[in-house]
Structure 1
């Protein structure tokens, strides 16, 4: 067992001497309190340890004991519906042991090793298995079936497989005998280092959207399953609420929410809301397919740096079972600030705004772990990463936002003026973008409509034209514009209020399926075509506005349910009746 002596202490960063046997990324225990730490630098005669707990009270001369293993997470049944801190310590179990505050040096198993699980074996003695193959299934929650996989590096024949029944996590389910005759025990859990991506057979092209039910995302700026998105925005623009909506309504099989350095009251809101919500897909509890990592701003800074790696490793574990996983990181700016603080204590040369020079490479190593893959057992699974960015003062030119933009292919810019105008989601359509559109073109044609992308383009063009016209209106007013351009402003208002803006608290509007989104676009563009014809014949735009047709179309989102296609179709007739009425009045 490797061992060293504390020589210097600088916050969560320790200098350790007399430690010849330590190795990089090794997990260590610090002092007699056994605080958890990790080796982050090694010199000829010393090593540097970052400690994931409060270091007050430590003294030079205290011992540091190595474990011989990298900082890892325990992967097995019991993760889903649980709440962990940044290094996978279960907060409920810690509360039972030490009260509502996390005590220093508290040691609680990540998973309950005494709980019995119903195990259904999928292999028998004599079967040949290799790493990643599924050997047993365990109903983890009412929504998630945990699939026990052969650990990495093990290949051979099954020996002494247990029968179906109730077992604890420490029970050996089977032995695998390799070609050298060595027996490898397989339990229902395994450990994996958090900074090492889990292996796959191959990465596949993304071609299916992550359906969120949020119109501005699904239609205008979609993200693919296995994709990467950033949600940058200043204080109060709705980053956390946008991620909440995606967690509640997206069609991912499993949701992992990482509260990285966020305020404690926001995490409390997440815990309270998610425990009460029903899953719209199954009608069961939403927590039955959700896992939360709570590492709030008052928790140790080093654990905050580790928290997103803990989350992404757990996401990869469920991806390897064939699930589609969405991970919400809120927020990567707080994670980068933790990185900056640790870098400063290490006396590294700072780069832009004090962030370390390796900020971009750390961001890329996180986002690149997203992807749509073929797993080692031949199934298809994906990890979709949606990371919130909190630029100070809403300045999108700061390093975290700019470096994140280099690696993600979907960028949802949250606009302060939209948020203050109570327009939610406050995604600014002029500065946001998605590069997944071309990859998913065939999916839209097959599953929504061959005309879907055409209508999307028409709406974006209208909004762009409105922006250009508003520059003129701000200077000289709208009265000087011809009616054709004033019509563009009016239809764009219909699109903004009736399509882009969405009410999370309305039973019809909180989630909207693709077929209704498509019909809404068709009706709005049908109205535009008819109104254009009327304006071309000399009918004043003021008469069209007085008819109330624009407000009626805006009201579709509240007045038509998701399962009322006949009612949606009736709006085409309403627009046609409006057209005839206007022609008759001015003939």
Structure 2
């Protein structure tokens, strides 16, 4: 008996009186064979969420199962590609049908006819197990693709193909399993997107994700294998901050998921990444990047799946031994997709209409971050950085609050800073990182033993300034003693000269850690010298007239990234100005 559609409610379709389907199975709905997934099974009805537009779908049309869960196709050809939320290549679809995706179109995720120059790393008689690398090929000029034995396969290699050109269809080797059957291995394999890929064990976090953004690297570091959230209201720069991180962070692979964002923003991402030169290799940035574009006008159910597709691709490259950074922009749109589907299923709503299982879904996603020892003995990491879009910049709403429970780095964007053209608009008073203890040994060893102490002094000055500004708002700055006026001026130099960064300046868009530390040292040297002068009775007004504070604000532009020795000139200037002031006032 053929199973047919009983009811249609947007992307939610039900089939009555059937036992043909299992939970989480991928199914094909209607005569157009729309892709769907089973999300509910009872003795009376099976509920399916459809990942394509259901316009034109009719009651009575057939529903057929695939016998497997919704899975991602993993193999060479992923990097440099642009997929939708269920891993359909948008470039291939555009070449076939134009700018719009027709319902029910069937396109292979990867090109099965493209030849790859494959080198086999196994031979007949070798024993292999899940995760072992059996072949390699240059996926791009900067990334070597390592084809791995699926986790559920172990046995003896009885056939291995010769090195040379092979497609995704070709059998590269055959493995004889314990039960005597044989399994062919090709360059491609499938993996269920909602199931984390296995690893031998999780490793402790101990390396920072270097981004070149001073406010992040110095004050609120993100760990490789960590999880971070970037919440902010409309116009605060969430997308641009993630663009900067994707461009400049020192991960080997970038997975960028545009989840429910505006189409023009995703177009900007595609154009920028197409033009950007990778600073590490000098090659196009697209050679180590994969983009998943699920814009706000695409089906809402596919938006929910896009996050899982992205993290599955990230885990696949992690298993090869690469450090992967995944940007999700934005998890609020993903949560809204959950809310819409939950409403159509008539589930009991929780706070602000979100489903009661929102926290567990967020936990499932962020817990897939981590540093791992892989099944093949290599080490890799997946770093998850999710943007959050609270309505009206209200950080007390459910998505932001629940996200804070599962991330250890919280980079809160401030509307007032953004409107004042202070970028990145990360508010230093409410942002935080819990990775200091894990990462400080690395900073001490690789940057300098004083790095962490300098950071602590900067944060202390910013905190003190925040308290003083409350007094200034009430009674003005004239009543403050000179020592407190000095604190306010030094904090201003920190805010505008150190935390504010120009993404369009060649020496300021990315700043190496050595320069970051030198800048901190100079600012704090001026603070120390200024405090001594004020203690000697020299008025703060005279210190301001030297122009030293303005010089420090501009040093990020005046000192090239490859000339840290030029910072020595600032110490000389500060010392000369101090001598001059003492001679003028103390005499």
TM-score by length of structure 1 reads 0.99
- Alignment partner, residue 179 of structure 2: 180
Q: Secondary structure at the match of 1:328?
A: strand
Equivalent position of 2:491 in the other structure: 492
Show the counterpart of 2:299.
Answer: 300
CA drift at 1:125: 1.5
Q: Which deviates the most, 203-212 or 117-126?
A: 117-126
Give the corresponding residue for 1:529: 528
In the aligned structure 1, how far is the partner of 2:75 from the partner of 2:45?
36
Matches of 2:297 and 2:66 in 1, distance apart? Answer: 28
Q: Please state whether the residue corresponding to 1:424 is helix, strand or coil.
A: coil
Matching of residue 415 in structure 1 with residue 423 in structure 2: no
Q: Is 1:510 the equivalent of 2:509?
A: yes
Q: Is the 8 A contact 1:5 1:18 kept in 2?
A: no
Alpha-carbon distance in 1 for matches of 2:565, 2:536 = 32
Match of 1:85 in 2: 84
Q: Which region of structure 1 is more displaced relative to structure 2, 253-262 or 117-126?
A: 117-126
Q: Is the 8 A contact 1:3 1:22 kept in 2?
A: no
Aligned equivalent of 1:42: 41
Match status 1:573 vs 2:576: no
Q: State the shift of 1:575 in Å.
A: 1.7
Kept in 2: contact 1:127–1:158 (CA 8 A): yes
Does 2:530 match 1:542? Answer: no
- Secondary structure of 2:124's partner? coil
Query: Contact conserved, 1:253 with 1:323, CA < 8 A, in 2?
Result: yes
After TM superposition, the structure 1 = structure 2 runs for residues 188-587 of structure 1, keeping only pairs within 5 Å, are 188-586=187-585, 587=587
1:89 to partner: Cα distance: 0.1
Length-normalised TM-score, structure 2: 0.99
Distance 2:564 2:346 in 1: 63
Q: CA deviation at 1:246?
A: 0.2
Count of matched residue pairs: 586
CA contact (8 A) 1:238 1:419 kept: yes
Local SS of the residue matching 2:376: coil
Structure 2 equivalent of residue 152 of structure 1: 151
Q: 3-state SS of the aligned residue for 1:557?
A: helix
Instruction: Tell me how far apart the structure 2 counterparts of residues 405 and 134 of structure 1 sit (CA, whole Å).
Output: 37
| Residues 17 and 43, structure 2, Cα contact 8 Å, conserved in 1 | no
Q: Quote the offset at 1:98 in angstroms.
A: 1.1
* CA–CA distance in structure 1, aligned partners of residues 542 and 453 of structure 2: 30
Alpha-carbon distance in structure 2 between the residues aligned to 1:117 and 1:40 = 38
Q: Equivalent residue of 2:335, what SS?
A: helix
After TM superposition, list the pairs within 5 Å mapping 1:27-66 onto structure 2.
27-66=26-65
C-alpha contact 1:3 1:18 (8 A) present in aligned 2:
no
Distance 1:298 1:180 in 2: 49
Using the alignment, how far apart are the partners of 1:366 and 1:283 within structure 2?
33
> In structure 2, what is the Cα distance between the partners aligned to 1:250 and 1:325?
10
Query: Please, which runs of 5 or more residues in structure 1 have no aligned partner?
Result: none
Following TM superposition, by how much is the alpha carbon of 1:553 offset from its aligned partner in structure 2, in angstroms? 1.1
State the Cα distance separating 1:299 from its structure 2 match: 0.2
SS of 2:43's partner is: coil
Moved runs in structure 1, 4+ residues, more than 6 A?
none
How far is 1:3 from its partner? Answer: 5.0
Q: Is the 8 A contact 1:3 1:19 kept in 2?
A: no
Question: Superposition RMSD on alpha carbons, in Å?
Answer: 0.8
Unaligned 5+ runs, structure 2: none
Counterpart in the other structure of 2:107: 108
**Structure 1 residues 549, 3: closer, same or farther in 2, change over 3 A?**
farther
Answer whether contact 1:323 1:381 (CA < 8 A) is retained. Answer: yes
Structure 1 Cα separation of the partners of residues 142 and 574 of structure 2: 44
Offset of 1:422 from its aligned partner? 0.2
Q: CA deviation at 1:585?
A: 2.0
* Structure 1 residues 183-231: Cα deviation after superposition (integer angstroms, max 9, x where no partner): 1100001000000000000001100000000000000000100000000
C-alpha deviation, 1:540, in angstroms:
0.8
Is the contact made by 1:24 and 1:42 (CA closer than 8 Å) also made in structure 2?
Answer: yes
